[in-house]
Structures are given as structure tokens and as C-alpha cells.
Amino acid sequence: MSSLFSITKMFSLSTLMLLLQLFTINLRHADAQIGVCYGTMGDNLPPASEVVSLYVSNSITRMRIYYTNQDALNALRNSNIELILGVANPDLQALASSSDNAIQWVQNNVLNYFPYVKIKYVAVGNEVNPVGANSQYAQYVLPAIQNIYQAIRAQGLQDQIKVTTAIDMSMLGNSYPPSQGSFRADVRSYIDPIIGYLVYANAPLLANVYPYFSYANNPTDISLSYALFTSATVVVWDGPYGYKNLFDAMLDALHAAIDNTGIGYVEVVVSESGWPSDGGFGATYDNANTYLGNLILRAKTGTPRRPSKPTEIYIFAMFDENQKSPEIEKHFGLFFPNKQKKYTFGFTA
């Protein structure tokens, strides 16, 4: 009887230890999905070396930068922070027009740092839209992507460093219900070939997803609880899929839009999402604290349409940036320029 009791005790203890190990692994996997965008449009921001130290001390394991910021790249060496490295829109034409330019760009900004800087994605252009205010860049996005991809592939790094671009949600012509998500007809000739490339290269599409702006522009039809992840019940039923929050509905509308092109399967990385603490309708400290804290918890799960994997999310932004406009754009920071935390939550799930 005593030996049976001992075996039962040992089995229970070993099972408990195994479950604890699995929980820890899963928790780390969830934690690793959160990154923060490092913008620099402020005249009072700390130097890059201090910024990287701030990421490390707050357990922020991923960063997005919007241009080839050499100070940031040097500070990131051996930090173990994974990076989205941006190609600024004004640089697209030169990279699209010459493969030699792309080779040199990759040498200067990727090979000179990798693997000591853990470059995960190269984001070729940000929110370029063929029918938007920056339409002059649209013709250069895919050729620049292809030239940079070929330069990276020539080094055998195409499976380690994925080349892509970042879009905003204005590319969608329909987003409700999410399963009927589709791209605007007047952007299909732009986005379809990019999706085709992403399928070929097995690279994700980056998307900037902001429930805040959807709510602020339509508070009559969109409840604050739906936007802040605080609804206790399903708000939108779409066939078998139930949506308690606007973030999932927006993201699944993009998933559906990609699927509905019929080109192939492409994953989506949320390359920006945030909520301002001041400067506009619904932009309060409490709302921002609620949204961002819940967004971090949300990263450990998938969407109703794609539930099997956690969602890789980059929060915008690290700091309040006083040189941005309009006013609301100055208040998205997680930290004040003096490096003090604005909010109470941590950066792990």
C-alpha cells in the first residue's frame, strides 16, 4: 500500500512538473509575440543605446524601425531583440530601379549586422496605397521587394529574413461581416501581385490595425467595449465565428480578403496597433491602458477564422513623439521621452 502511495505521489509530481514545463513554454511563446515600434519623430527622445536598454529591461523582445537607423542597428547588436527593418517610402524608387542598389542596401543594412542583429523581416514601404496620398510610391513597392529578396536569397538567408511590405486597412473595400472581407477593386492590380510574391516566398503580409480609428469615426455603431476587448459576450456573429472584439473582426476581414483573392495562403503580422492617451475623441489614459493591456493578452491566441496560432503584434509606439501631426499622433507612446512608463501593465502575457 505504501509503495502504491509512493508511485502515485511520484506520478502526480512528475505530471505536475511536466504540466508546469508545458505552461512555461507556452507562456514564453505567447510573450514572444509582442513587439513595440520605435519611432523617432521627437526632439526630446533618448539615444538609441538607451532605448534598446529600455526594451531589454522591460522584456520587450521585438522591435520595428521605419528606416535604416544606424544608431539603432548598432545598439541592437547582441541584444537578442528580433527586428522589423523598414525601407522608407522615399527610398523605394532607387531600390526598385536597380538590383545593384538593392544588393548594396542589403550589404549596408542587413549583412553588416546579421546575425548579431536578429533581423526577422524587411518591411519594404509603409502604408503605400495606389489610390492614397502616397500613390507615387506604389509602382516601386513590388520591384523593390523583389530586388531586396533576390539580394537576400543570394546569401542563402531567404528562410531567415522575410521580405514584405506593410499596409493599412484602407485597402479593404468591404470588412463586414469579416468573412466577406475584400480588397478595393481599385487596389487589386497593386495588392494581388504582392500577395502572389508573398505566397511564393512564404512571407507574411504586415498590416497596421487600429480599432481606435474605426471606433472614433463611428461610435454610434461601434461600442467602446467592443473596441477595448471588454465585451463579455459575442457582439458580431458571422456564420460559425463569434466576435467579442473589433480587433479580431478587422484582422479576420483582412484574412478573408487575402483568401478571397484565390491566390494562396498568406499569414498576417500586425505591424502596428495602438490607442492614444490624448488628443482626440475616446483618446484617454484609461481607454489606452485598457486597450493596450488587453492587446498584450490577446497576442497569445489566434482569431476565430485562424485560431491555431498566436498573433504576432507590434504596439505603436515606444514613445510619445512631439514632432508628429496631427495632435493625436503625438500621444501613442508606451513611455514618456524621459523613459518613464506611461501605463501599469507589463509586456508579457
Q: Annotated active-site positions, please?
A: 127, 272
State how beta strands 62-65 and 236-238 pair.
unpaired
Going by C-beta distance under 8 Å and a sequence separation of 6 or more, which residues neighbour residue 83?
A: 62, 63, 64, 65, 76, 117, 118, 119, 120, 121
- Spatial neighbors of 47 by CB under 8 A, at least 6 apart, are 71
User: What angle (nearest 5°) sits at the alpha carbon of residue 33, between those of residues 32 and 35?
Assistant: 90
Nearest to 166 by CA among 139, 126, 204, 133: 126
> What is the DSSP code (8-state) at residue 124?
E
Burial call 274-298: b when 16+ CB within 10 Å, e when fewer = bbbbeeeebbeeebbbbbbbbbbeb
Burial class (CB in 10 A: 0-12, 13-18, 19+), 88: middle
Alpha helices in 32-47 (DSSP H): none
From 106, 86, 204, select the one nearest 154 (Cα to Cα).
106
Residue length of the chain: 349
Q: How far apart are CA 37 and CA 271, in angstroms?
A: 8
**Is the sign of the CA dihedral 51, 56, 60, 64 positive or negative?**
positive
* Rounded-to-integer distance, Cα 242 and Cα 305, Å: 9
3-state helix, strand and coil shares in percent for the chain, rounded to the nearest 5: 45, 15, 40
